[in-house]
Amino acid sequence: MHQPDLAAFAEQAGLGAAQIHVLGLVSAQPGWSRDDGRFLYPASMIKVPLAVAVTLAIAAARLAWDTPVVVDPSNATVNDAPSPIEPGYAATVLELTTFMLQRSDNVATNQLYDVLGRERATADVHALGFRETFFRRKLSGDLPLIDDPEATGRNAFPAHEAARLFAAIAEDRVPEAATLRNILATSWWDVKLSRGLGAGDSFAHKTGDTDEVAHDAGILTLADSSRWVLVVYTELPSSEENDLRFGAFMRTLRPYLHAARPGDAVGDPANGAPIPRDPWSTG
């Protein structure tokens, strides 16, 4: 029972050819991946590395959490949750980052693109080892897309880098990691994997949805105190029916996480992908 077949679990839940990464956060804890490497648009998952870019700018003394920012009208777009982040609003960097992660606020995200500079933010996360992540276009809550003269293509944040980045946040390997974890733990959108949690479990996470993709990823702490990173990227359109599929997948996976022991086999040939590794790791 210690070796989950992620492909079978995804098929059983109706997630299709999902890209999935499960990483244990305790030394020698097992991990499993199923990822064919194809490009999947990250949608609002891109907000997680953007938040890390904020913390890197803070560490470099280019910003502070209390740096004041006035929201520019050019960044206005639709949001799925109520928000005070509107044109002319006087915010702080902390407030923008909180709304971006907690409520998936698109206006806050777009303003942070301006504050950080997308090229500088991309270079910063690349220097941290996440070289397939790119901030190329501001986000739009609906059609038509927001006018973005500086756009250079589609954003990129692959599932395997999401797994490594959430592990880095969990293990305090990025600046201000505790602040990021606290914000992620207050997500307004506990509608996917969170539906499969048990009593005493917690999930500090971020979702991403469009008409073409639905994702969920974060740091999972089970009632037995074991800690995991779980990433699920799919090509399913955002819908209540598909949200329920994520919950079904979690319910199937949880017993395997509880049963996992240090030294269990890592990876599974049937899952079709190696476990993501940090480029700085020597293990």
Is residue 146 domain-shared with residue 55, that is, in the same domain?
Answer: yes
The pLDDT assigned to 63 comes to: 98
The CATH number for 145's domain is 3.40.710.10
Closest-CA residue to 260 (of 26, 30, 28, 22): 30
Identify the H or E element spanning 247: helix 240-259
279 found inside a domain: yes
Is residue 61 domain-shared with residue 93, that is, in the same domain?
Answer: yes
Identify the H or E element spanning 93: helix 93-102
Q: Of 25-39, 146-160, 264-278, which has the strongest mean pLDDT?
A: 146-160
Residue 14 is given by DSSP the state T
82 or 168: which leads in pLDDT: 168
Is residue 202 domain-shared with residue 216, that is, in the same domain?
Answer: yes
Residue 274 scores a pLDDT above 80: no
49 found inside a domain: yes
Is residue 79 domain-shared with residue 194, that is, in the same domain?
Answer: no
d(CA 162, CA 166): 6
How many CB atoms sit inside 10 A of residue 268's CB? 17
Give the model's confidence band at 258: pLDDT under 50 very low, under 70 low, under 90 confident, else very high: confident
Give the pLDDT mean for 157-185: 98
202 found inside a domain: yes
192 found inside a domain: yes
Is residue 97 domain-shared with residue 23, that is, in the same domain?
Answer: no
Task: Kindly give the pairing relationship between strand 214-221 and strand 227-234.
Answer: antiparallel
Structure tokens at 162: 């999401």
Residue 267 scores a pLDDT above 60: no
Q: Are residues 266 and 33 in contact, defined by beta-carbon separation less than 8 angstroms? A: no
Q: Are residues 254 and 196 in contact, defined by beta-carbon separation less than 8 angstroms? A: yes
Q: How many domains does the chain have?
A: 2
The CATH number for 216's domain is 3.30.450
Is residue 30 domain-shared with residue 165, that is, in the same domain?
Answer: yes
User: What pTM was estimated for this model as a whole?
Assistant: 0.93
The rounded Cα 53 to chain-centroid distance in angstroms is 14
Give the model's confidence band at 281: pLDDT under 50 very low, under 70 low, under 90 confident, else very high: very low
The pLDDT assigned to 280 comes to: 40
Is residue 15 domain-shared with residue 152, that is, in the same domain?
Answer: no
pLDDT > 90: what percent of the chain? 83
Is residue 143 domain-shared with residue 220, that is, in the same domain?
Answer: no
179 found inside a domain: no
Q: How would you label 152-170 residue by residue, b for 16+ Cβ within 10 Å and e otherwise?
A: eeebbbbbbbbbbbbbbbb
The rounded Cα 201 to chain-centroid distance in angstroms is 18
Is residue 132 domain-shared with residue 226, that is, in the same domain?
Answer: no
Render 35-60 in DSSP notation, one character per residue.
--------GGGGHHHHHHHHHHHHHT
Is residue 48 domain-shared with residue 133, that is, in the same domain?
Answer: yes
Structure tokens at 51: 């938040």
Is residue 128 domain-shared with residue 140, that is, in the same domain?
Answer: yes
Read off the pLDDT of residues 7-17 as tens digits, 9 standing for 90 and up.
Answer: 999 999 999 99
Owning domain of residue 217: 1-40+158-174+184-283
Give the model's confidence band at 77: pLDDT under 50 very low, under 70 low, under 90 confident, else very high: very high
Read off the pLDDT of residues 117-150 as tens digits, 9 standing for 90 and up.
Answer: 999 999 999 999 999 999 999 999 888 889 999 9
Read off the pLDDT of residues 182-227 as tens digits, 9 standing for 90 and up.
Answer: 999 999 999 999 999 999 999 999 999 999 999 999 999 999 999 9
The pLDDT assigned to 80 comes to: 85
Structure tokens at 240: 């209540």
Is residue 264 domain-shared with residue 164, that is, in the same domain?
Answer: yes
The pLDDT assigned to 3 comes to: 77
Identify the H or E element spanning 114: helix 106-116
207 found inside a domain: yes
